[in-house]
Amino acid sequence: MLHPNTAKTNEITRDQLAPVLTLTPDMSKVRELRAEDTVEVQAFLSIRPVHTVVMSSFIIDNGIESDLNRGKFYGYRNASGSLEGVALIGHSTLVEARTADALNALAFCARRAETPIHLIMSSGNDAERFHLQMTGGMAEPRLKCTEALFEVSFPFAVQKCEWNIENADMSQLEQVAEAQAEIAFIECGVDPMLKDREGFLKRVARRIEQGRVFTVYSEGKLIFKADIIAETTETIYLEGIYVHPDHRGAGLGSRCLAALTQQLLGRVENISMLSNVDFTGAHSSFERAGYRRSDQCVTLFV
């Protein structure tokens, strides 16, 4: 989920975060969201379409109530009954909280999450505040990543690309999954092909079936890959940008990404992606492809 703030994310200490620890919030204002809440929730998320694209896309693809979300959606309502926060609490815990009360209550709710939480993403430093409240200050995240937000929209400079970018098919499942697993390991230190090979292959296969994986092959070898993780009517969120080691530094990645981006801008107005701030080589490639760095946020692996 994309959740950078308009202000830059600064390093903060636990002492600065400590005030988030409060007495038990009013949990009567938190409810698991149901199918009948869909229109209201989508309207709430649409206020910041780039930042909430992943949650919105999950609802479009799977519905609010679905095992495919790998978690459950919860909402926090104020005294008048209006939503002030929405969170998907589960494997990937994604939070859009517009008040401190909403953030604290949703974090408290996460203490009893049925699905083990792997990562937390939210606006600015909110992921850290959420984690502190969720754990009561009794645990540290396994890994903290500061990620840059890259965006592109029209006008967009057309670039020449000699490679043919196609939708992946099921015959490419193993190579695509191995490339994605390599990216995941570099990002968070966990290889999903080792941790949950069957489940990971099923998730990659579903993305291929949805037409959301794009590949370039040369002599039977995967040399470029990019995935649409989430899509709404306004924006697409890309992830899993992969270039084979033999082709890195030669401009293939930026040209293929630019060509794919040109195609996708025929479907939406904005394309965005997050990347660890330490991956400066990849960032240069993104910028050559026409993307601009617009903000940053924090992702916690727990």
Q: With contact defined as beta carbons under 8 Å apart, do 167 and 214 qualify?
A: yes
Supply 118's token pair.
Answer: 């792997």
Mean pLDDT of the chain: 91
Q: With contact defined as beta carbons under 8 Å apart, do 244 and 9 qualify?
A: no
Supply 164's token pair.
Answer: 């043919």
Q: Which CATH code fits 151-295?
A: 3.40.630.30
pTM: 0.86
d(CA 231, CA 53): 7
- Domain spans in the chain, listed from the N-terminal domain onward: 14-141, 151-295
d(CA 201, CA 153): 32
Answer whether residue 3 shows pLDDT above 70. Answer: no
Do 14-141 and 151-295 fold alike per CATH? yes
pLDDT tier for residue 14 given thresholds of 50, 70 and 90: low
- State the number of CA atoms in the 13 A half-sphere of 136 facing the CB: 7
pLDDT of 156 reads: 83
Answer whether residue 18 shows pLDDT above 90. Answer: no
| Mean pLDDT of the region 282-297 | 92
Query: Taking Cα atoms as reference points, which of 261, 282, 251, 236 lies closest to residue 154?
Result: 261
Architecture of domain 14-141: 3-Layer(aba) Sandwich (3.40)
Q: With contact defined as beta carbons under 8 Å apart, do 68 and 202 qualify?
A: no
Residue recorded with tokens 């099921």:
170
pLDDT tens digits, 94-128: 999 999 999 999 999 999 999 999 999 987 789 99
